[in-house]
Amino acid sequence: MSGPASYDLLVFAAVRAIDPALGLDEVVDVVVEKGRIARVGRGAATAELRSAQGARVIEGEGLLLLPAFVDLHAHLREPGQEYKEDIASGLAAAAAGGFAHVCAMPNTRPVNDTRSITEAMIARARQIGGPALHPIGAITMGQKGAELTEMADLKDAGAVAVSDDGRCVTSSAVMRRALEYAATFDLPVIQHAEDHALTEGALMHEGAVSTKLGLRGWPRVAEDIIVARDILLAEATGARYHVAHVSSRGAVRILREAKSRGIKVTAEVTPHHLTLTDAAVIGYDTACRVNPPLREAEDVAALCEALADGTIDAVATDHAPHSPLEKDCEFAEASPGMIGLELVLPLLLALVRDKSLPLGRLVDALTAAPARIVGLTAPSLREGALGELCLIDPTARWTISPERLRSKSKNTPFLGKEVTGAVRMTLAGGRVVHEAETTSSQRGAN
């Protein structure tokens, strides 16, 4: 659709509504009136409401209605690399994926290390409409790992966290100061856990496949060392520490132990680290070059288990659009990353179907958990809440193709894959920001 649409009365009839935060999982009617959830329950969609002037009625049999999703980790490339993605195309992709909130990483050009860039990003997103954009500011100026940013200014401008994103803060002294400073403002510090001295020149996970392909390997311990060190620093400072895109079974073990001791640590995992192994790189597929790298089956199993039991709090896309300039090249020259905003739901519903992940845990990991980490009001099916919802057809089968993707970039190894599960409608800020196809009858005028 061309832009957000508002309805005075939007009725979801006989839909399976799921909101783990409310303990809700049942077939009910959900009524959204003037952008807010007015009624939830059996029989809420009365004949009078259904026939009201301007009512939009969606027959929900066989469909799921969830709180809209929150992404902790996306790259929207604006300012500076709009040929890969911009805020408009990135938010359109987010809406199509079921997201009402997107946290944008600071590796823009220039780096989002000042109030002015944070404010400009938010203003641009509001001008466009659709899902809300929440910038993440840099930890250090220029992401250079030395001088701390003015975190107070960043938070005041609207930043919800700080991170140096693809550059790990390798100095223990700088990281300690960053945690202490951020704790003053209750800002979570998001770390890309990578000991760069151990990964110099690495192109993929270190293992049998890297040996076979003749590519320099990236050892798990490069991630584990930083996670262990930072958890000790977080414990010492009392700061909120978040691990981006966990990929190793060792990091999972360290996180589980830290949480058992009550340390304020949280973590996220990406769909591609839950569904692919390093074997996907065979053939030198540049779409599978990501940072951190795809790892082995044992790591994938550990990540799935950790997400299911809550050791890993949230799912985040790490949506990283790149143009053919950065991907249609030699593997060693390819930029790391793949897109993900539009593919989370179908890829992870497969884990629900094979019983690797409970549906309620998946919904929580995409909604309340990420919102809690960065201090946002979580989308909810609670009566009185702002209408931020996601309507899902869990049985719709479709093939991932460039034509179906709203992102400017199409860099994903899942092109051509048939998947099951589709987002039919997304509401953000009380308005319909995405609709895949006609799903309802409408009576009267808006």
CATH number for the domain spanning 394: value is 2.30.40.10
- 142 and 173 part of one domain: yes
Is the predicted pLDDT of residue 445 greater than 60, yes or no?
no
Tell me the pairing of strands 431-435 and 418-428. Answer: antiparallel
Residues 312-316: what's their mean pLDDT?
98
Mean pLDDT, the chain, rounded, equals 96
- Within-domain flag for 1: no
Q: Are residues 166 and 238 in the same domain?
A: yes
pLDDT of 381 > 90? The answer is yes
Quick one: 55 and 125 in the same domain? no
- Contacts of residue 257, defined as CB under 8 A and 6 or more positions apart, other chains included, come to none
The values of phi and psi at residue 279, to 5°, are -65, -20
Q: How confident is the model at residue 437 (pLDDT cuts 50, 70, 90)?
A: confident
Is residue 52 very low, low, confident or very high in pLDDT (cuts 50, 70, 90)? confident
- Whole-number percent of the chain with pLDDT over 90: 93
Tell me, yes or no, whether 365 and 229 share the same domain: yes
With 80 as the cut, is the pLDDT of residue 383 above it?
Answer: yes
Could you tell me if 258 and 404 lie in one domain? no
Backbone dihedral angles phi then psi of residue 421, each to the nearest 5 degrees: 115, 125
In angstroms, the CA 64 to CA 80 distance is 38
Q: What is the pLDDT of residues 130-150, one digit of tens each?
A: 999 999 999 999 999 999 999
Residue 28 lies in a domain: yes
Position 368 in a domain: yes
- Condensed to tens digits (0 to 9), the pLDDT of residues 152-161 reads 999 999 999 9
Q: Is the pLDDT of residue 444 over 70?
A: no
Is residue 136 a part of any domain in this protein? yes
Q: What pLDDT, on the 0 to 100 scale, is given for residue 352? A: 98
Whether residue 443 is predicted with pLDDT greater than 70 in this model: the reply is no
Residue 442 in this model has a pLDDT that exceeds 70: no
Whichever domain contains 141, its CATH number is: 3.20.20.140
Helices (H), 108-199: 115-128, 151-157, 172-184, 196-199
- Same domain membership, residue 157 and residue 290: yes
Q: What is the DSSP string of 384-410?
A: TSB--EEEEEEEEEEE--GGG--SS--
For residues 417 and 323, membership in a common domain is answered with no
Predicted pLDDT of residue 3: 62
Q: Stretch 215-220: mean pLDDT, rounded?
A: 98
Q: Decide if pLDDT at 399 tops 60.
A: yes
Instruction: For 244-257, write each residue's pLDDT tens digit.
Output: 999 999 999 999 99
Tell me the backbone φ, ψ of residue 119, rounded to 5 degrees. Answer: -65, -40
Would 53 be classed as within a structural domain? Answer: yes
Q: Closest by alpha carbon to 135, among 112, 109, 110, 165? A: 112
- Kindly state the average pLDDT of the residues 295-311: 98
Cα–Cα nearest to 107, from 189, 167, 178? 167
How far is the C-alpha of 307 from the C-alpha of 56, rounded, in Å?
Answer: 37
Structure tokens that stand for 42 in this block: 């059996």
Does an H or E element contain 427, and which?
strand 418-428
**For 340-356, how does the pLDDT look when each residue is reduced to its tens digit (9 = 90+)?**
999 999 999 999 999 99
Quick one: 58 and 78 in the same domain?
no
Query: pLDDT at position 49, please?
Result: 87
95 & 106 share domain: yes
| Residues 6 or more apart whose Cβ sits within 8 Å of residue 107 | 75, 143, 165, 166
Q: Are residues 424 and 295 in the same domain?
A: no
**Claim to verify: residue 60 and residue 156 sit in the same structural domain:** no
Q: Please check whether residue 367 is in contact with residue 379, taking contact to mean a CB–CB distance below 8 angstroms.
A: yes
pLDDT digits (tens, 9 = 90+) for 227-248: 999 999 999 999 999 999 999 9
Residue 402 and residue 379: Cα distance in Å, rounded? 30
Residues 83-110, mean pLDDT to the nearest whole number = 98
What SS3 state is found at 165? coil
Q: Is it the case that residue 85 has pLDDT exceeding 60?
A: yes
The last residue of one of the domains, among 339, 374, 409, is: 374
Whether 4 maps to a domain, the answer reads: no
Residues above pLDDT 70, as percent of the chain: 97
Rounded to two decimals, what is the model's pTM? 0.96
State residue 446's pLDDT score. 34
By annotation, the residues acting in catalysis are 318
**Whether residues 141 and 44 fall in one domain:** no
Which of 356, 374, 392 marks a domain boundary? Answer: 374
Structural domain containing residue 419: 9-66+383-442
In the chain, how many domains are there? 2
Would you say residue 82 lies in a domain?
yes
Q: What is the mean pLDDT of residues 108-131?
A: 97
Tell me how far the alpha carbon of residue 239 is from its chain's centroid: 23
- Note whether residue 3 is domain-resident: no
- Find tokens 């992940």 and name the residue: 357
Q: How many CB atoms lie within 10 A of CB 43?
A: 8
